[in-house]
Amino acid sequence: MVIAPNKVVSVHYTLTEGTAEGQLVETTEGREPLSFIYGIGAMIPDFETQLTGMKAGDKFAFGIPAEQAYGLYDETAVVDVPKNIFEVEGKIPDGLLEIGNLLPLTDQDGNHFQGMVASVDAESVKVDFNHPMAGVDLFFTGNVEEVRDAESEELAHGHVHGPGGHHH
């Protein structure tokens, strides 16, 4: 069975920055493979495109430029926000505003997103709303472990169930 829309794909991979010899970002080595439903938009589009037509046992190695992955780094997505918006009962929780922390935030419309603390001064916090991998070229190496038909319940829920997937 080959990788095509509405197939559950399980892969073991190693992700590095730029090239196969680049800095390690993450790997599934020693863990469960990554499992996803191909073609429903859960993965970077170019990642799926590179896997199209492969089958269990196939190996892969490919790069994805930053602009086709998580986008280029956008300086305008780094903003100063008033420090007091992080107060809970008049006090900022200990350890919350440390450089590098990811802050779960909600906008006025109830949308959830994250920003990373870039710097803190007496009155404001510089928050970086770029994806942590923005501006980074990606390189994937790995192999296809399994390809199977997605079950109707998986398609309805939009995710894989069982090993390597979501457990209800």
| pLDDT of the residue at 95 | 93
The CATH class of the 75-128 domain is mainly beta
| pLDDT of the residue at 113 | 87
Residue for token digits 């069975």?
Answer: 1
Given a contact cutoff of 8 angstroms between Cβ atoms, the answer to whether 107 and 129 are in contact is no
> In this structure, how many other beta carbons lie within 10 angstroms of the beta carbon of residue 106?
9
Q: How confident is the model at residue 164 (pLDDT cuts 50, 70, 90)?
A: low
| pLDDT of the residue at 107 | 82
| φ, ψ (nearest 5 deg) of residue 11 | -130, 145
Distance of CA 59 to the CA centre of its chain: 22
Q: What's the pTM?
A: 0.82
CATH 3.10.50.40 is held by the domain 7-70+133-157: yes
The domain limits of the chain are: 7-70+133-157, 75-128
Residue 33 has pLDDT above 70, yes or no: yes
Q: Do domains 7-70+133-157 and 75-128 have the same CATH topology?
A: no
Q: How confident is the model at residue 162 (pLDDT cuts 50, 70, 90)?
A: confident
Q: How many helices (H) and strands (E) does the chain have?
A: 2, 9
| pLDDT of the residue at 108 | 86
Averaged pLDDT for residues 71-82: 95
